[in-house]
Structure 1
Amino acid sequence: MPVIPVGSQIFDLAFHPTSNVVYTGLLDGKVKTFTYDDQGAHSAAKSLRLSKRSCRGLALSPDGSSLCAVGKNRTLYTIDTSTGTVSETRQGVHDAPINRVVYPTPHLLATGDDDGTIKLWDPRKQEAIHTYAQHFDFISDFMWLQDKRQLVATSGDGTLSVMDVRSKKPEPFAHSEDQEDELLSIVPFKGGTKVAVGTQLGIISIFNRNKGWGDCVDRVPGHPHSVDALCPLPSSYPSSHNTILTGSSDGLLRVIELLPTRLVGVIADHKDFPIERIAIDRAGEGRWVGSVGHDEVLRLTDLREVLEDEEEGGAKEEDGDGEEDALSDEGTEGAPPVLPLAKKAVTADDEDGGGGHGSEDESDGPKPKKRQKKDNGDLKGRAEKKRRNQVDIDPSFFSGL
């Protein structure tokens, strides 16, 4: 699969919604832009130095005309994507380094910092239109609920909060109980009725919107390390309603089905380097999934190759073929081979029957709490292998759900 070297640690990436362009925010304060084609061939398009301090978050406007960048220097930059130049600079918009940014609508922008402060912005206005202070630790991720016009934020303080952007109240619409673990990532599934939250200890917590935001309704164990990034599949896949991509600090990009739960497989490997962010091109409906982390490269994985081949293989087994087909070990020149998908899936009962955040260095970036965790081997992609690159799954690891 294509591997794009960038020369510095990548903290965030953003795909243009209509063009084959991807933007990366780097530790050295640069925003580097790359173009790619349908075969994954890529070329560098633009490099823009915003600051000497890290660029931690990127967000594109819905039409792709503006790119917002935030980072340690507490400045909000707006970049004109047509010219590749900075069109607006707002300095000191937060009192602490800004960790995340999201651009859900043309007239709404949200930023979250290391101290847990969240600010809502109208790009047409100079000052923030709302400030929330319900969290006391870094804001790790945002999720936009279009049907309710609500913004959900996860935090290193172990809670998530829901803000109604139409309300003028200073407090959030809802605030969860302490989940006793850092919440690092969030994504909707089951048509938006349920929400999966990744944690520092490797548990995926499930929230049911119909039952409120007070506490999770289920917990999915399995990751041997933290679930730093989550991403939904494109809606064109039949299983997209309950299938998500997970990026972990063990460097593996996994495909997991939820409720009932099974590991579909591992589709990319960052070789023990933590995965910071994952995203899919064409506003989440494309074929390329980008994953970035501490290995200073952007990896592009073709979902058509790894998922559609798996579906075809499953159909052959149903026809009585009985043979397990593995994906080819051959990848794009210079790139590591994609790991084969797991054919023997582990399933669990449906929910009715069942129950770190990366840092830049010692002086830069949020410093999440360190928790002692046991390496239980669940969903482990680096256990003893029967053959090259095969994912070895313990059939009993979901039995307790």
Structure 2
Amino acid sequence: MAINFRDYDKNSSDESDSDISDGTNEESSENDSMDYEDDNVDEPTLNEQNTNQNNAEDDSDEDEEEDEVVKAIKAEKNKPRDHPPTITSEDFIVDISFSPIKNLIAIANIVGDILLYEYSNDETKLVNTLELHLKACRQVEFDNNGLTVYSTAKDKVIMATDVETGKLKQCYENAHEEPVYSLKCLDNGKIVTGDDGGTVKLWDMRKPDPIFNLKISEEYVSDMITNEAQKYLVCAGGDGVLTSIDLKASKIYTTSEDYDSELTCMGLFRSETKLLVGSSKGKLYLFNWKEFGLHSDEYIGQKHSIQCMIPITQNVVVTSGEDGVLRATHMFPQRHLGIVGQHRLPVECLDISHDGQYIASSSHDNDVKFWNISYFETIDSIINVNHKQNKKKDLVNNLPSSSIKNASDFFSGLV
């Protein structure tokens, strides 16, 4: 039977045990004295004394063992919180984005609002509600300076809003012919957007019209990514094709082979030399940067659709999707590390905080959960390339941020 350490009431338990013990000892002492005086009971024999002594020692051992368990329970309960509390929304959450400069997270919901929350280990506090769009939001993202928050929605509108004042800085109505699905911030006030019909546009916030307009597919543009140089933009599509665009030449650079599933999310690793792409069939495809035509390696990430990923270190990625479980995987070499956290329902998006201490995930539960991932730097440095992988053990291993506990592991230090 699993023990819920948080429900253990330390104060009431200590007080109750103390009261019962005191009352029992006094009453027992008085009754024993009366029995010996009235009934003239013989003294216990030597064998009886030895038996009683052994029983007392056994009881003492049991009490010591029980004390150790109680101490462990109290220690578990009294551990300081190492991540912000969960944010629960009244409306379905579509996307989340951490500020790149401070403890602030933006939450986009299905009614078209952007909610700004300050967070700490002690609390999450709603500081502003931006009522921006007439239809469901699709994506929200801070610019690289953290001063502007961009949002897109099913109403085909792109908005740029000042984070401090909440005032609108730029608005593009009917920015696309189809609802905008994805958005990526670039340097110098530029953004790129992709819509449900496979069209990608590059915008400069100082100009009223897009710099270029490219039709790259017939399906939605699920995700977009670029590196620090920002020469190439890579777009993942619902048609199972990876398309790269030369941003400076304003034209398509390459298109990949057709994959047998939707390409859903992407991340950069190894100093931006490796591109990892997730798919709706749970596969992960690894590409060399600038070699986007064909993957160099592939892995089975999970049995369910991978909807989102976030790079944690140069080697470690966290993925999640339909089953609501956040899994950590070391990619070089490829090895499953364990479960970071979990939701009851599918997870749609992940992001990492500006200081790299937390990742946040949102699910169909209308909640945003935070997970402390500061231990990953240590894990990343001790992975042994030559270590033989125990897949069964790796899959059931739960990392410190996960609330799933293995009881045998927890109590192993008590024996």
Q: TM-score, structure 1 length as denominator? A: 0.74
Find out whether 1:338 has 2:403 as its counterpart.
Answer: yes
Q: How far apart are 1:188 and its partner, in Å?
A: 1.1
Task: Name the counterpart of 1:206.
Answer: 286
Find out whether 1:9 has 2:9 as its counterpart.
Answer: no
Partner amino acid, structure 2, of 1:32? L
Task: Name the counterpart of 2:233.
Answer: 151
Provide structure 1 residue ranges, at least 5 long, that are not aligned to the other structure: 234-239, 319-323, 332-336, 341-384, 390-401
Q: In the aligned structure 2, how far is the partner of 1:116 from the partner of 1:267?
A: 34
Task: Name the counterpart of 1:256.
Answer: 329
Provide the secondary structure at the position in 1 that maps to 2:314. Answer: helix
Q: What whole-Å deviation, never above 9, does each CA across 1:230-250 have from its counterpart, x for those lacking one?
A: 1111xxxxxx22111112211
Find out whether 1:226 has 2:305 as its counterpart.
Answer: yes
Alignment of 1:167-316 (within 5 A): 167-168=249-250, 171-209=251-289, 212-233=291-312, 240-271=313-344, 273-282=345-354, 285-304=355-374, 307=376
Name whichever structure is richer in helix by fraction. Answer: 2
Q: In the aligned structure 1, how far is the partner of 2:329 from the partner of 2:404?
A: 15
Q: How far apart are 1:27 and its partner, in Å?
A: 0.9
Q: In the aligned structure 1, how far is the partner of 2:311 from the partner of 2:376?
A: 14
Classify 1:50/1:218 alpha carbon distance in 2 versus 1 (closer, same or farther; 3 Å). same
Q: TM-score, structure 2 length as denominator? A: 0.71
Q: In the aligned structure 1, how far is the partner of 2:373 from the partner of 2:353?
A: 11
Partner amino acid, structure 1, of 2:279? T
Classify 1:325/1:167 alpha carbon distance in 2 versus 1 (closer, same or farther; 3 Å). closer
Classify 1:90/1:388 alpha carbon distance in 2 versus 1 (closer, same or farther; 3 Å). farther
Is contact 2:340-2:399 (8 Å) kept? no
Is contact 1:108-1:121 (8 Å) kept? yes
Between stretches 3-12 and 68-77, larger displacement belongs to 3-12
Q: In the aligned structure 2, how far is the partner of 1:193 from the partner of 1:146?
A: 11
Partner amino acid, structure 2, of 1:140? S
Task: Name the counterpart of 1:361.
Answer: none
Partner amino acid, structure 1, of 2:321? S
Is contact 1:313-1:325 (8 Å) kept? no
Identity %: 25
Task: Name the counterpart of 2:54.
Answer: none
Is contact 2:338-2:398 (8 Å) kept? no
- Higher RCO, Cα 8 Å, sep 6+: 1
Provide structure 2 residue ranges, at least 5 long, that are not aligned to the other structure: 1-82, 388-395, 411-415
Identify which of 176, 179, 182 aligns with 1:100.
Answer: 182
Q: How far apart are 1:297 and its partner, in Å?
A: 0.7
Q: How far apart are 1:118 and its partner, in Å?
A: 0.5
Q: What whole-Å deviation, never above 9, does each CA across 1:285-343 have from its counterpart, x for those lacking one?
A: 42111111211011111112x5368679999xx9xxxxx99767xx9xxxxx6236xxx
Q: How far apart are 1:133 and its partner, in Å?
A: 0.4
Is contact 1:154-1:183 (8 Å) kept? yes
Task: Name the counterpart of 2:57.
Answer: none
Task: Name the counterpart of 2:111.
Answer: 28
Aligned residues, how many?
Answer: 317
Partner amino acid, structure 2, of 1:42? T
Question: Which 4+ runs in 1 deviate beyond 6 A?
Answer: 311-315, 324-328, 385-389
Classify 1:216/1:50 alpha carbon distance in 2 versus 1 (closer, same or farther; 3 Å). same
Is contact 1:40-1:300 (8 Å) kept? no
Alignment of 1:132-151 (within 5 A): 132-147=214-229, 149-151=231-233
Is contact 1:57-1:101 (8 Å) kept? yes
The alignment's C-alpha RMSD in Å is 2.6
